[in-house]
Amino acid sequence: MEAKTIPLTELDKSQDSATKPLRLTEIFCSLQGESNTVGWPTVFVRLTGCPLRCVYCDTAYAFTGGTRWHQQKILDEVASHPARHVCVTGGEPLAQPAVHPLLSALCDQGYHVSLETSGALDIARVDRRVHIVMDLKTPHSGEVDRNHWDNLKYLKSSDEIKFVIANREDFAWMESVVGEFNLDQRNLVICSPVADQIEPRTLAEWVLASKHHLRMQLQLHKVIWGNEPGH
């Protein structure tokens, strides 16, 4: 059944979150293009829906539509691939409460599980075994006011913080945030350039000149496959 006719808030409210279906855009196996697991074969579980509208979003096709999948069906599909890494992404995965039992179930099955989240929604309930990659929103995203700063206290030292950089203002803002919260002393801090808005070489020069401990990263999957969905 097409899930686009069923708002997330109306998905089986009477059910326990472990039995509620999740609205999915796609499940596919590809190389991880970002984070500290870049290059590993990874099964991506892309959930549908996001409360944010970043101006540079490259997965806007996941805002709506999708189909309803129960947890066991997702686990079966993930298991059909040989990869041992699983990335739950979106959209914004935490917009669907049923993502929490799914994350735990994937961990229980021995996968290395990562969660890509915007940082706008509470991460306190995320299973501590899950590797979190939190994308703090920069000014140019148009959603900087949505950053949920309390999330920082729930990050483990092994988790990552990502900043998407479109211009010098974004980079300066990132440096101020990193300095204020000592983020580079607590977590891996990654910055990536917005395609067609800043040259990678320019961002690289800013990173080299920064007093902070930053890691620049390009999106490997886009280098290989461009913007093709399913990669």
pLDDT tens digits along 98-120: 999 999 999 999 999 999 999 99
Question: Any idea where the domains of the chain sit in the sequence?
Answer: 3-161
Confidence of residue 54 (pLDDT cuts 50, 70, 90): very high
pLDDT tens-digit readout, 147-187: 999 999 999 999 999 999 999 999 999 999 999 999 999 99
pLDDT tens-digit readout, 26-45: 999 999 988 889 989 999 99
Question: Is the distance from CB of 165 to CB of 198 less than 8 angstroms?
Answer: yes
CATH superfamily of 3-161: Aldolase class I (3.20.20.70)
Single pTM value for the model: 0.88
Confidence of residue 11 (pLDDT cuts 50, 70, 90): very low
